[in-house]
């Protein structure tokens, strides 16, 4: 049944009649072993069912080739990004160790666990940790914040330009004739702040600051979006609602439609992330793509430059997000043009 006495390197060595060191060399494809010996070792390993013990190997090896990724797997955009990271890391000869942030397991806890696994670098996806903590982490291990602006001299950042993304949305709506535009914000985190600021700036650039407003919500969730939807209904309906992410948009969309508001005829709604959710036919949300594949490539590249090429200066990559127009936006209805 269960192989209690695991097969070890010494077993293989004995079986072939060579030393542990030789077996080690063979398994790391290191040079300096004759072809026949190599073959004999492989054969014996095969026969005995030997597998290198990763844990033991990690102990002495200076390198682990492990990269930690912290993500909220419930968020489908995060899930997609993780898939891309796995792909990109794989291509570079690294492995992603995934830490799932859940209601019961906060980011700090997850980071600690990943450090315990001796990850050589850390990718923080959509993190809401304070800058100071990220900075401190970065002194221990190369750290890349994905999807968010971050301070600190040692922290790399890969993100799309949220302000620009929101500006694209506002521009799109403006061209459709919208003038009274409301932003549903995503709470108090750094990402929400960037998007809110981008929204306000875009409004000003169109001289719409007087006719726009912001609804604060308490997070990037569908529930928060529903609450925001109710606030919208309670007041004077705008012609367009710019939500800070897709989940918020879906929540708001739901409440408005249930209340008999036609979308996009009466009110246009937009999201952010282009998550798989937004792509669903029944949702078909106009949104902004954060280019997960490119972000993943950049993030892995940043890690590798530090790990394998001794880069020490900070690196930041800001990609241009991409507006994805779907079915929740349309021409403003007899807008009260100024």
Partner DNA sequence: CGAGCGCGCTAGACCGGTTTAGTAGACCGG
Partner DNA sequence: CCGGTCTACTAAACCGGTCTAGCGCGCTCG
Contact set with DNA (CB under 7 A):
6, 8-10, 17-22, 24-25, 27-28, 31-34, 36-38, 50, 52-53, 56-57, 59-63
Say how far apart CA 91 and CA 206 lie, in whole Å. Answer: 45
Q: What's the burial of 192, exposed, middle or buried (CB within 10 Å: 0-12/13-18/19+)?
A: buried
Partner from a copy of itself, DNA, none contacting 117, C-beta within 5 to 8 A by type = a copy of itself
Residue 131 or 254: which CB sits closer to a copy of itself?
Answer: 254
- 282 forms part of the interface with a copy of itself (CB under 8 A): yes
Partner from DNA, a copy of itself, none contacting 76, C-beta within 5 to 8 A by type = a copy of itself
In angstroms, the first-to-last Cα distance of the chain is 80
Residue 28 or 105: which CB sits closer to DNA?
Answer: 28
Residue 3 or 282: which CB sits closer to DNA?
Answer: 3
Minimum Å gap between C-beta 261 and a copy of itself is 13
Residue 18 or 283: which CB sits closer to DNA?
Answer: 18
Say how far apart CA 237 and CA 268 lie, in whole Å. Answer: 11
Residue 13 or 96: which CB sits closer to DNA?
Answer: 13
Residue 60 or 104: which CB sits closer to DNA?
Answer: 60
Take residue 42 and report the two structure tokens written for it. Answer: 């492989």
Residue 83 or 161: which CB sits closer to a copy of itself?
Answer: 83
- 230 forms part of the interface with a copy of itself (CB under 8 A): no
Partner from DNA, a copy of itself, none contacting 317, C-beta within 5 to 8 A by type = none
Please report which residue ranges of the chain form alpha helices under DSSP H. Answer: 9-16, 20-27, 35-48, 54-60, 76-91, 107-116, 131-140, 162-175, 190-205, 222-234, 246-258, 276-279, 292-309
Q: Tell me, what DSSP letter sits at residue 321?
A: P
Say how far apart CA 167 and CA 72 lie, in whole Å. Answer: 26
Minimum Å gap between C-beta 168 and a copy of itself is 24
User: Using the rule CB under 8 A, which residue among 95, 207, 265, 308 binds a copy of itself?
Assistant: 95
Partner from a copy of itself, DNA, none contacting 10, C-beta within 5 to 8 A by type = DNA
Say how far apart CA 33 and CA 58 lie, in whole Å. Answer: 23
Q: Helices 35-48 & 20-27, crossing angle to 10 degrees?
A: 90
Give the number of other Cβ atoms within 10 Å of residue 47's Cβ.
11
User: Using the rule CB under 8 A, which residue among 117, 204, 209, 320 binds a copy of itself?
Assistant: 117
Say how far apart CA 204 and CA 48 lie, in whole Å. Answer: 72
Partner from DNA, a copy of itself, none contacting 98, C-beta within 5 to 8 A by type = a copy of itself
What x/- string results for residues 247 through 276 when contact with a copy of itself is judged by CB under 8 A?
---xx-xxx-xx-----------------x
User: Using the rule CB under 8 A, which residue among 96, 146, 228, 288 binds a copy of itself?
Assistant: 96
Q: Tell me, what DSSP letter sits at residue 331?
A: P
Query: Taking a C-beta distance cutoff of 8 angstroms, is the pair 246, 216 a contact?
Result: no
Residue 213 has φ and ψ, to the nearest 5°, of -155, 175
- 54 forms part of the interface with a copy of itself (CB under 8 A): yes
Check the CA dihedral 111-112-115-116 and report its sign.
negative
Minimum Å gap between C-beta 157 and a copy of itself is 18
Residue 243 has φ and ψ, to the nearest 5°, of -95, 150
Residue 37 or 76: which CB sits closer to a copy of itself?
Answer: 76
Say how far apart CA 67 and CA 280 lie, in whole Å. Answer: 32
- 51 forms part of the interface with a copy of itself (CB under 8 A): yes
Query: Taking a C-beta distance cutoff of 8 angstroms, is the pair 244, 184 a contact?
Result: yes
Q: Tell me, what DSSP letter sits at residue 210?
A: G
- 283 forms part of the interface with a copy of itself (CB under 8 A): yes
Minimum Å gap between C-beta 6 and a copy of itself is 10
Site of interaction with a copy of itself (CB under 8 A): 1-3, 51-56, 58-59, 73-74, 76, 79-80, 82-83, 86-87, 90, 95-100, 102-105, 113, 115-118, 139-141, 154, 222, 226, 250-251, 253-255, 257-258, 276-277, 280-283
């Amino acid at each position: 049944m269960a192989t209690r006495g695991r097969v070890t390197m010494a077993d293989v060595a004995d079986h072939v009649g060579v030393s542990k060191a030789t077996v080690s060399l063979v398994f790391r494809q290191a040079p300096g072993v004759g072809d026949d010996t190599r073959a004999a070792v492989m054969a014996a390993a095969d026969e005995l069912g030997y597998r290198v013990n990763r844990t033991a190997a990690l102990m002495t090896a200076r390198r682990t080739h492990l990269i930690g990724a912290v993500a909220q797997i419930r968020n489908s955009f995060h899930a997609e990004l993780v898939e891309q990271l796995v792909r990109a890391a794989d291509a570079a000869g690294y492995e992603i160790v995934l830490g799932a942030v859940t209601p019961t397991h906060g980011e700090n806890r997850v980071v600690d666990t990943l450090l315990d696994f001796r990850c050589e670098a850390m990718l923080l996806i959509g993190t809401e940790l304070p800058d100071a903590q990220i900075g401190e982490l970065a002194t221990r291990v190369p750290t890349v914040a994905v999807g968010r602006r971050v301070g600190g001299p040692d922290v790399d950042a890969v993100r799309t330009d949220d302000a620009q993304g929101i500006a694209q949305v506002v521009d799109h709506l403006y061209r459709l004739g919208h003038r009274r535009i409301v932003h549903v914000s995503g709470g108090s985190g750094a990402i929400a702040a960037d998007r809110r600021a981008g929204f306000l700036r875009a409004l000003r650039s169109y001289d719409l600051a007087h006719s726009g407003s912001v609804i604060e919500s308490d997070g990037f969730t569908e529930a928060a979006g529903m609450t925001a939807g109710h606030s919208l209904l309670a007041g004077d309906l705008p012609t367009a609602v710019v939500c800070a992410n897709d989940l918020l948009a879906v929540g708001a969309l739901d409440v408005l439609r249930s209340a008999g508001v036609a979308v996009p005829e009466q009110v246009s709604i937009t999201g952010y992330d282009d998550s798989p959710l937004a792509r669903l036919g029944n949702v078909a949300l106009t949104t902004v793509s954060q280019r997960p594949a490119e972000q993943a490539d950049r993030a892995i590249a940043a890690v590798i430059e530090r790990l394998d090429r001794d880069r020490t200066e900070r690196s930041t990559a800001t990609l241009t997000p991409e507006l994805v127009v779907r079915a929740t936006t349309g021409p403003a209805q007899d807008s009260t043009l100024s």
